[in-house]
Amino acid sequence: MAVIEKQQSEKAMALEARYGAHNYHPLPVVLSKGEGVYVWDVDGRKYYDFLSAYSAVNQGHCHPKIIGALTRQAQELTLTSRAFYNDKLGEYEKFLCGYFAYDKVLPMNTGAEAVETAIKLARKWGYEKKGIQEGKAKVIVCLNNFHGRTITIISASNDPVATENFGPFTPGIVPIPYNDLEALEAAMGSDVAAFLVEPIQGEAGVNVPDADYMKRAHEICKAHNVLLMADEVQTGIARTGRLLASCGNCACPEKNCSGTPEVKPDVLILGKAISGGVLPVSAVLADDRIMEVIRPGNHGSTFGGNPLACAVATAALQVVAEERLAEKADELGRLFREKMQEIVETSDLVRLVRGKGLLNAIVIDDSEDSSTAWDICLALKENGLLAKPTHGNIIRFAPPLVMTREQLLDCVGIIRKTLREFQKA
């Protein structure tokens, strides 16, 4: 039986290798089922999911409320395109604007599409509202960012793997160091339309900026009539212990609120967990003074705002509020970092732990070009926990937010056991 099961896994991986472009390097596990915080492979082995599809599955795998919304709507109407009105989009847009406290939303599908949409919106606003000379608008970005992989977005990247042999690149992108307010101030000018930034750099290794970074960056932007555009595709939807990571350390008693946060980005970019990982949904939100520059024919998508996506995203966001997932992420994240810090203090393998909410990472005491972090992730897999390295020597830990305290402590035990075994080997 074990031989047959191994053959199933090998066959699935071989098919991808033979017929799929080699644009990913997956962990060697073939998943076939998911529920809550768990996934199962084709051999029936059960694992804790500590990646959550890069924070797309914050509500857990196959949440019954979200799947229920999906199946009901799929039996009624899935797509009309925007050539016609449908009975779901308007209600969804109203719900979304109320949930995040913005005037308007432009619905799209993927996170990369949402970032592209935001850049287009910022440029058009810059020309029509700020008075930037046509063709001269600039967007400031941060080094080591990850906003997606389209041509314009990788034009903002300094990752050679993402950029090599893909030029020429889109002009008008100004890179500055992350978490550097002096650099931001120096980059400002009359031709700058926007500052595009991740409140926490997830793909770069969960780089958490100074507590007042977003607040002070917003103040600088306002002083220069520049839009602050927050890419919350990975950090949003309760992942970091607040509904939005942009809120920073705001004192709002409701962590999953739509009240008056300390920082309200001029443009909010959402994706991933806005649909609970069920299908691609993304959104760009802004107030009327910005969004009104978009007129018929300027931007769109056949699938953007489709009825199925509207039903699924509404249910997914209701789950976040009803199950108080932001508050849960805050509490469990503190516990996780406390336990990881204990490991740091007793292990020669782990240099430090960092993060916010349930978006965390450990830095392995080895070089970026070493295989140590990858090998540790392989060992974690064998012990029943799935995670992936990023930037060579960093392991990101981001479980579904529906995780219980008991499950989290069980996972801490797996990580501790794995590191201990690895260190002895």
Residue 81, CB half-sphere, CA atoms under 13 Å: how many? 3
Q: Identify the burial level of 296 via C-beta atoms within 10 angstroms of its C-beta, where 0-12 means exposed, 13-18 middle and 19 or more buried.
A: exposed
Residue 305, sorted as left (phi over 0), alpha (psi -120 to 50) or beta, turns out to be left
What is the spatial distance between Cα 271 and Cα 111, in angstroms, rounded to a whole number? Answer: 5
- What does the alpha-carbon distance between residue 126 and residue 277 come to, in Å, rounded to a whole number? 34
Residue tagged active-site, from 146, 303, 336, 397: 146
Q: Token pair of 338, please?
A: 């406390």
Q: Are 335 and 341 in contact (CB under 8 A)?
A: no
Instruction: Given the residues 124, 272, 328, 356, select the one marked as catalytic.
Output: 272
- How far apart CA 163 and CA 157 sit, in angstroms, is 7
Long-range pairs for 131-137: beta carbons < 8 A, 24 or more residues apart: 132/190, 132/191, 132/193, 133/191, 136/172, 136/191, 137/172, 137/191, 137/192, 137/193
How far is it, in rounded angstroms, from Cα 229 to Cα 120?
12
Active site residue 210: no
Backbone angles phi, psi at 393, to 5 degrees: -115, 20
In 300-393, which ranges are continuous DSSP H helix?
Answer: 307-322, 325-346, 372-382
Q: Is 336 known to be catalytic?
A: no
In 3-state terms, what secondary structure has residue 14? helix
Q: How far apart are CA 121 and CA 193, in angstroms?
A: 10
Compute the half-sphere exposure of residue 321: CA atoms within 13 Å on the CB side of its CA: 14
Q: Is 328 a catalytic residue?
A: no
Name the catalytic one among 41, 50, 100, 231: 231
Element (H, E) at 269: strand 267-270
Q: Which residues contact 172 (CB under 8 A, 6 or more apart)?
A: 123, 136, 137, 138, 139
- Strands 267-270 and 385-386 come out as unpaired
DSSP state of 302: S
Question: In angstroms, rounded to a whole number, what is the distance separating the alpha carbons of residues 77 and 284?
Answer: 24
- Taken in order 127, 132, 133, 138, is the CA torsion positive or negative? negative
* Both tokens assigned to 399: 């479980």
Residue 403's φ and ψ, nearest 5 degrees, are -60, 145
What gap in Å lies between CA 252 and CA 292, rounded to an integer?
30
Which residues are the active-site residues?
146, 231, 272
